[in-house]
Amino acid sequence: MKRLAVYCGSATPADPAYLDLARDVGAGLAQRGIGVVYGGGRLGLMGAIADSALAAGGEVIGVIPQALVDAEVAHRGLTELHVVPGMHERKKAFTDLADGFVTIPGGTGTMDELWEALSWAQLGYHADPVGLLNAFGYYDDLVAFWAKMADVGFLRPQHHDLLIVGATLDALLDRMAAHVPTQPIVRMAASDL
């Protein structure tokens, strides 16, 4: 994995542990020689990821919609900043520029990005690992929901392992490195769907 798309919040939670986590992730990826592709913002967890990765000598590529550039939230000190028309182009650029995806705590936009990465993996639009850093138990309910989708039958057994979960960055990256692509829906027989 040469570059990972990192999905996270642009907000700054009251608990400083979340900003510390973002800083640790940015620095940790840079120290491993893994470039960061992220939302291109300078605020919240996004800014913390970028700043810490840059301070550790890492490559940081931002992808940001023009509307957010106009709102003056773009980070101007990145290795590269790609300005795109909207969110659809942003998420496609994440997929094109990265070799995998890591989601750390965030809100609605972060969930949108995570679910699209999983959906595209399930369909076969990419075969890259999709990781979820479940720090502080933040995503416990989401992990339980993922299992519920499988239990009910909305998530095929061969796709259950698409979501790779780790409580620490090291554990998550180890699991992601061992990722084996699954059979995508587009290669399944109709009887298997």
Residue 158 confidence (pLDDT): 87
- Distance, CA of 95 to CA of 99 (rounded, Å): 8
Tens of pLDDT, residues 28-40: 999 999 999 999 9
pLDDT band at 49 (very low <50, low <70, confident <90, very high): very high
- Distance, CA of 87 to CA of 83 (rounded, Å): 11
Does 63 map to a domain?
yes
Does 187 map to a domain?
no
Residue 179 confidence (pLDDT): 95
Does 123 map to a domain?
yes
Q: For helices 108-123 and 87-97, give the axis angle rounded to 10 degrees.
A: 60
For residue 163, give the H/E element and its range.
Answer: strand 163-166
- How many distinct structural domains can be found in the chain? 1
User: Distance from CA of residue 85 to its chain's centroid?
Assistant: 20
Per the structure, the complete domain to which residue 165 belongs is given by 3-180
Residue 80 confidence (pLDDT): 98
Does 51 map to a domain?
yes
Which of these, 52, 47, 36, 41, lies nearest to 4 by C-alpha position? 36
Does 110 map to a domain?
yes
Assign residue 95 the CATH number of its domain.
Answer: 3.40.50.450
CB atoms under 10 Å from CB of 16, counted, come to 9
Residue 189 confidence (pLDDT): 58
